Amino acid sequence: MTSATPALRLEGIVKTFPGVRALDGVSFSVLPGEVHALMGENGAGKSTLMKVLGGIYQPDEGKIIVSEQPVVMTSPLQAKSKGIVFIHQELSLAEELTVAENIYLGELPRKSFGRVDWPKLHEQTNRILETLKVGFDARTRVGDLSIANQQMVEIARALTVEAKAVIFDEPTASLTDAEKVVLFDVIDNLKAEGVGIIYISHRMEEIFRMTDRISVLRDGQYRGTLNTAETSEDEITQLMIGRKLDLSRNAVHHELGDVALEVRGLSCGKLFRDISFEVRKGEVVGFYGLVGAGRTEIAETLFGLREPSSGTILLNGEETVFHSPADAIAKGISLVPEDRKAQGLVLGMNCRDNMTLPQVDDLKAGPFVAEGAEIAIFDQYRDRLDIRTPGWKQLAGNLSGGNQQKIVIGKWLSMHPSVLIVDEPTRGIDVGSKSEIHNLIRDLASQGYAIIVISSEMPEVLHVSDRIVAMYSGEIIRTFTSEEVTEDNLIQAISGIRPEKAA
Amino acid sequence: MEPGTLSTFLKRGAIWGFIVVELLFFSIAGEFLSLSDKAFMDMDNMLLLFKQSAPIGIIAIGMTIIMINGNIDLSVGATFALSAVVLLDSMTWPVFAGLGDGVIPIAWGLALLTGIVLGALNGLIVWKTGVDAFIVTLGSMLGYRGLVFMYNGEQPTSHLNWTLVDFAEAHFLGLHTATWFLIAVTAVVWFVMNRTIHGRNAYAIGDNRTAAINAGIRVGPHMMINFMIIGFLASLSAVVFYSESGSVNPNDGELYELWVITAVVLGGTKLTGGAGSVLSTLGGVIAIQLLRKGLGHIGADTETVNLVIGLILIAVLFLDRQLNLKGKQELRI
């Protein structure tokens, strides 16, 4: 393998922004027919590197070499013409247009007078779609496709040129297991054709399943390349964060209090059916399942965002109906939402105002907002949650993911909730801050909060939960105690395999 | 059937269904309420309706592509008025004296050129400054209107050329000249939007601008071309209308932008861009004109007409929202 000419080689790439050296002499190479993982914490420089490769940023120093030829790229289209193709994490498709138009976006085949050559377009598209073995055709409207199929459209785009290197950025983020298999087949095919593949992912299982080598970035610097077959999760993690990470199983058990929240037979249309569970004070209940299993929808229902079609909710022993989020908050439910930036924070507002947002109506001095009381609340939770910010005037959008999440959590703690629901507590948060958030959740439980944690990451669920509810396609398959649960039976449960019923 | 096809079909067909309902309603209600004993669905009445739809309609076709592209143009009313002033005034310029009716194509050309230049100016500013089209054209709406007043003060600009009037009042295959212009504009723009690269790129830009930029589509020039098209169409609308009337008040065309946007939205074009159809806009234009005529037919006054159109617009957008959310298990606000 080492004798082959690299499909793509980076030599000493440096990129500085005012005050930051985002990339500091990064060099590595991807061989033809190799799947090369690129790993690093958020902020390690992966996305900057990708933007350099995609022609969005120009490197200050260093060379990009495609098949022995140094190249300079000034636009994404130019990168594509050099054979460097991106499969973006966030789909960049035009939903109202057809599959064919999206695949040839910007490069529609033309006839005289600027007309689109539709027959040619559809024929070329269908030829590509055939190789991907997908169940839709060139004329389908992209908005009508599932997320997985939309991703296939993105991949199909990569196949319109003779790709030298294809970069997959978190490609499985929104895929089901079955869809992942299809994606991995596609990657295997590309690999067999001698294309070099850069695979960016945080998911270790995929890294070990798919990749040949792993290059790690930390703080904008290249930290080394490992052969996947010869390394371990620990070694990679250490390289990424510079120290060992504690992700052991939650073994701490403490006294549980009364039942804070009980749900009986809750259903909401097709989203989830017959959901029953309870959460005690001082307990963390983890909800684990695939994307689309209905976990977030349950949280939204408990938070008054959705109207259940049947079932009852008991809060502190009393039957309750949540008419709206305002109602749910007043009654003591808090939700730390899945998408922190879009749903949890007002990014352009300062930390203090974000923190006191739900209770600003109650913090009045006459007709005005009582600034002193606001600052007092902010100070209290900054100290309690160890939020690192220069001061309350800092805009929430300028904080790191971990500190942003703490602001959201602090916001709800200041409302003294009975039940705290945390949806994807560490999504988009770097590995180092992850364990801090995990510890925080455990601490809050030991202080007597009833907590529901929804997560798509198995180590996280195993680490923080006292009990784990496994969901599949809108139903609870099984509830595990932390003694019962193993990785195997958890995976089976979220794949819809029910435990053998003992007689 | 593909998911979404039904709601797409309903949305596409909705405006024509609405027109049918209007026709039936006014025909029946007219039997009881109308002061005249002429039927509402009278042939002459319908032909007149098409003709009256033309000035707003021609601009609305242009607005459709602007809105599909993800922009908006508030300056069309002022462009309309300024082009009309250029059209009528240029026929009296001493330079062209002695040309006789030969001045007509020159005046037309100058008026249309005015529209194209004003549109290009809008487009250029939106492209080069990156300021939102709403703000840019709000400014140019005031600015262009200012030019109209600077030209002749509060006085109307008048010039009647009888050849031109004859042309404007002519019929061909039963339809008025203005109606033919509306049909031709609709056909050409439909072709541009559905069959050419420019049209498809315009959809892509309105749908997902980042994706379009990443795909190497040159967003700015496409937007500028569309602004030139709507400028051209605003002046074409003026040319068609003022060839017949021969006199333009400095206030003419005010609020046209709002009527035009109403028609486009009624026709189902998304305010956020990316989706819409010029044929449905034509439906929207006809629906509004029918509503005005029909309410007049059953004895309602202008104020009532505006109130009803306003209510219907909101009702239609509410219906559209419901159709879009159907099956998606909406979140409560």
User: Above pLDDT 90, what percent of chain A?
Assistant: 29
- Contact residues of A toward B, CB < 8 A: 75-78, 80, 92-97, 101-102, 105-108, 110, 113-116, 140-141, 143-144, 268-271, 297, 300, 304-307, 324
- Any idea what the CATH number is for the domain that residue B185 is in? 1.10.3470
Judgement on whether residues A171 and A81 belong to the same structural domain of the protein = yes
In-domain check, residue B55: yes
In chain B, residues with a C-beta closer than 8 Å to the C-beta of A113 are: 196
User: Looking at residues A152-166, what average pLDDT do you find?
Assistant: 85
Judgement on whether residues A470 and A331 belong to the same structural domain of the protein = yes
Q: With beta carbons less than 8 A apart as the criterion, state whether A404 and A427 touch.
A: no
pLDDT of residue B331: 59
CA distances from B330 to A101, B17, B264 (A): 29, 27, 26
Domain range holding B230? 38-321
Query: Where residue B306 falls among pLDDT bands split at 50, 70, 90?
Result: confident
8 Å CB contact of B329 and A268:
yes
Largest CA distance in chain A: 78
Q: A280-289, A385-394, B22-31 — which one is most confidently predicted on average?
A: A280-289
User: Looking at residues A45-51, what average pLDDT do you find?
Assistant: 83
pLDDT exceeds 60 at position A498: yes
pLDDT of residue A252: 60
Q: What is the pTM of this model?
A: 0.76
8 Å CB contact of A113 and B196:
yes
User: Above pLDDT 90, what percent of chain B?
Assistant: 51
pLDDT tens digit sequence for A292-322: 788 999 999 999 998 899 999 999 999 999 9
In chain B, residues with a C-beta closer than 8 Å to the C-beta of A78 are: 216
In-domain check, residue A114: yes
Report the alpha-carbon distance of residue A101 to residue B204 in Å, rounded. Answer: 9
Across all residues in chain B, what is the average pLDDT?
87
pLDDT exceeds 90 at position B196: yes
pLDDT of residue B2: 42
Judgement on whether residues A141 and A80 belong to the same structural domain of the protein = yes
Q: With beta carbons less than 8 A apart as the criterion, state whether B262 and B42 touch.
A: no
In-domain check, residue A2: no
In chain A, residues with a C-beta closer than 8 Å to the C-beta of B3 are: 144
Report the alpha-carbon distance of residue B223 to residue B136 in Å, rounded. Answer: 13
pLDDT of residue A429: 78
pLDDT of residue A250: 60
pLDDT tens digit sequence for B121-155: 999 999 999 999 999 999 999 999 999 999 888 88
User: Could you tell me whether strands B247-248 and B157-158 are parallel, antiparallel, or unpaired per DSSP bridges?
Assistant: antiparallel
pLDDT of residue B12: 65
Residue where one domain finishes, among candidates A241, A274, A302: A241
In-domain check, residue A251: no
Residue where one domain finishes, among candidates A210, A241, A272: A241
pLDDT of residue B1: 34
Number of domains in chain B: 1
In-domain check, residue B110: yes
Is the model more confident about A151 or about B280?
B280
Of A93-102, B62-71, B91-100, the one with minimum mean pLDDT is B91-100
In-domain check, residue B4: no
pLDDT of residue B137: 96
Rg (C-alpha) for chain B, rounded Å, is: 21
In-domain check, residue B298: yes
Report the alpha-carbon distance of residue A249 to residue A232 in Å, rounded. Answer: 19
In chain B, residues with a C-beta closer than 8 Å to the C-beta of A108 are: 197, 200-201
In-domain check, residue B10: no
pLDDT exceeds 90 at position B204: yes
8 Å CB contact of B331 and A300:
yes
8 Å CB contact of B217 and A108:
no
Judgement on whether residues A271 and A198 belong to the same structural domain of the protein = no
pLDDT exceeds 60 at position B329: no
In-domain check, residue B333: no
Could you tell me which of B243, B286, B238, B268 has the C-alpha nearest to residue B114?
B238
In-domain check, residue A503: no
pLDDT exceeds 50 at position A108: yes
Residue where one domain finishes, among candidates A190, A210, A241: A241
In-domain check, residue B112: yes
Is the model more confident about B202 or about A154?
B202
Reduce the secondary structure of B155-189 to three states and give it as a string.
CCEECCCHHHHHHHHCEECCEEHHHHHHHHHHHHH
Judgement on whether residues A47 and A176 belong to the same structural domain of the protein = yes
pLDDT exceeds 60 at position A244: no
Judgement on whether residues A209 and A354 belong to the same structural domain of the protein = no
In-domain check, residue A405: yes
User: Looking at residues A408-426, what average pLDDT do you find?
Assistant: 91
pLDDT of residue A1: 44
Query: Where residue B281 falls among pLDDT bands split at 50, 70, 90?
Result: very high
In-domain check, residue A250: no
User: Looking at residues B179-200, what average pLDDT do you find?
Assistant: 94
- Any idea what the CATH number is for the domain that residue A442 is in? 3.40.50.300
pLDDT of residue B37: 67
pLDDT tens digit sequence for A357-403: 888 888 887 888 888 888 999 999 999 888 888 888 888 888 888 88
Judgement on whether residues A264 and A231 belong to the same structural domain of the protein = no
In chain A, residues with a C-beta closer than 8 Å to the C-beta of B207 are: 94-97
Judgement on whether residues A83 and A166 belong to the same structural domain of the protein = yes
Domain range holding A70? 8-241
Judgement on whether residues A190 and A269 belong to the same structural domain of the protein = no
Query: Where residue B287 falls among pLDDT bands split at 50, 70, 90?
Result: very high
Judgement on whether residues A166 and A272 belong to the same structural domain of the protein = no
8 Å CB contact of B329 and A95:
no
User: Above pLDDT 70, what percent of chain B?
Assistant: 92
In-domain check, residue A439: yes
pLDDT of residue B7: 55
8 Å CB contact of A307 and B208:
no
3-class DSSP state for residue A336?
Answer: strand
Query: Where residue B229 falls among pLDDT bands split at 50, 70, 90?
Result: very high
Of A263-277, A473-487, B69-83, the one with minimum mean pLDDT is A473-487
ipTM (interface pTM): 0.79
User: Could you tell me whether strands A364-365 and A333-336 are parallel, antiparallel, or unpaired per DSSP bridges?
Assistant: unpaired
Instruction: Tell me how many helices (H) and strands (E) chain A has.
Output: 16, 22
Number of domains in chain A: 2
User: Looking at residues B211-237, what average pLDDT do you find?
Assistant: 92
Judgement on whether residues A488 and A447 belong to the same structural domain of the protein = yes
In-domain check, residue B185: yes
